Amino acid sequence: MVAENLIDDVSTEFIQSAVADLRDARLTSRARRQPPAVRFPSPEALGQAIRDLSAALYPRRLGGFRDGSEQEDAFVAARLANGLDILRQEIDAEIAYWQLESAAPFDDDHASTLIRHFATTLADIRASIDSDIDAAFIGDPAARSVDEILVSYPGAIATLHHRIAHELHKLGAAIVARSISELANARTGIDIHPGAAIGPRFFIDHGTGVVIGETSIIGSNVRLYQHVTLGARSPLWDASTTPRERYARHPIVEDDVVIYAGATILGRVTIGRGSTIGGNVWLLDDVPPESVIVQPGAIRLHGAEADALGEALARTRPPARRMAS
């Protein structure tokens, strides 16, 4: 269809010129980097693996299972086998990539071993997701059921991906895990690094623009709103960066903390248990337990101040459009 709409002949001069330019750019790039792996983990394949794993975790709600309970285990087994086999193949591709930089060979069954270990975490992953959904139901009066949250809330979708990706990250499949987190980011606008450690009953309300960095540690029963950033603040190319700043560079959020929309918390600071962080707050320091941190409240202008601001705003408005007579 593209050829019909654009060009019918790949030998067209400008296509061949572009191909040659891309070849030169490719070879230049490869000369500065390691040789390319035969295959690299595929986001498309990993998307199918996540769909299969989601179906195994929640056969009726996410897998579309409609038969009786006596067939449910067989359905779960089939979807799980397919999802784990895809994961094994993609982890195998990642291992081939890292093998180019490794002095010692990986075991031939390394990917299969990782998959067997990962399979033992699935029941705990399900329990963690259940706790996240329960927290969302308690925390959002607009929610009508836990099933609504599971199938439609961006925060639930992102945390489901994260619970899977985090276990794979811990097992050493860093690229596969990161790719899974980016699938969630593309779908929800929520960016959670798979290295982040997140406790149970975690709820992201709305969610768009939330960023949680690699070394973040989040306790239990924590709630975040949209556009919250748990980030780092020291650039890694700064020669003065200490090991602590490099490897522990994101915030610690203790239990029972609520962080409202637009808050930015940077560096290895600790937000104490039971604290509330108000919207649009900028934090670079520790916060004691049971704190309430807010910006100064908005003020109402009166008299000459109000008039002056009104006039200044009026000067920035475009001229009124004249209606046709």
Quick: pLDDT tens for 20-52. Answer: 999 999 888 878 776 666 789 999 999 999 999
Helix/strand/coil for 276: strand
DSSP assignment letter at 219: -
Section 74-79 average pLDDT:
98
The residues that bridge with 252 in the sheet, in sequence order, are 217, 270
Instruction: Give the per-residue pLDDT at 1.
Output: 46
Looking at domain 34-190, its CATH superfamily turns out to be serine acetyltransferase, domain 1 (1.10.3130.10)
**Rounded distance, CA 86 to CA 46, Å?**
7
Domain chopping of the chain, boundaries: 2-31, 34-190, 196-296
The residues that bridge with 271 in the sheet, in sequence order, are 253, 287
Query: pTM for the whole thing?
Result: 0.86
> Is the pLDDT score of 268 beyond 70?
yes
DSSP character string of 93-106: HHHHHHHTT-SSPP
**Rounded distance, CA 252 to CA 264, Å?**
13
> Is the pLDDT score of 66 beyond 80?
yes
Among 77-81, 97-101, 266-270, 274-278, the least confident range? 97-101
Q: Classify burial at 72, counting beta carbons within 10 Å of its beta carbon; exposed 0-12, middle 13-18, buried 19 or more.
A: middle
CB 146 within 8 A of CB 162: no
Alpha helices in 189-255 (DSSP H): 243-247
Section 87-108 average pLDDT:
92
Backbone angles phi, psi at 204, to 5 degrees: -105, 110
Instruction: Give the per-residue pLDDT at 3.
Output: 47
Share the mean pLDDT of the chain.
91
Annotate 125-139 with three-state secondary structure: HHHHHHHHHHHHHHH
Backbone angles phi, psi at 123, to 5 degrees: -65, -40
Section 56-72 average pLDDT:
96
Instruction: Give the per-residue pLDDT at 27.
Output: 86
What phi-psi label fits residue 262: left (phi over 0), alpha (psi between -120 and 50 degrees) or beta? left
Among 46-50, 178-182, 318-322, the least confident range? 318-322
**Rounded distance, CA 241 to CA 234, Å?**
7
CB 162 within 8 A of CB 197: no
Alpha helices in 140-281 (DSSP H): 146-152, 154-170, 174-188, 243-247
Q: 10 vs 5, 23, 108, CA distance in Å? A: 13, 16, 41
User: Higher confidence at residue 78 or residue 28?
Assistant: 78
> Is the pLDDT score of 240 beyond 80?
no
Instruction: Give the per-residue pLDDT at 236.
Output: 56
Q: 295, 296, 269: which is closest to 282 by C-alpha?
A: 295
Cβ-based neighbour number of residue 278 at 10 Å = 16
> Is the pLDDT score of 141 beyond 90?
yes
Q: Can you read off the two tokens belonging to residue 273? A: 């248990």
Q: 219, 209, 198: which is closest to 260 by C-alpha?
A: 209
**Rounded distance, CA 84 to CA 138, Å?**
33
Q: How confident is the model at residue 317 (pLDDT cuts 50, 70, 90)?
A: low
CB 94 within 8 A of CB 102: no
Backbone angles phi, psi at 4, to 5 degrees: -65, -35
Section 78-101 average pLDDT:
95
Q: Can you read off the two tokens belonging to residue 307? A: 């008039």
Q: Give domain 196-296's CATH architecture.
A: 3 Solenoid (2.160)
Q: How confident is the model at residue 12 (pLDDT cuts 50, 70, 90)?
A: confident
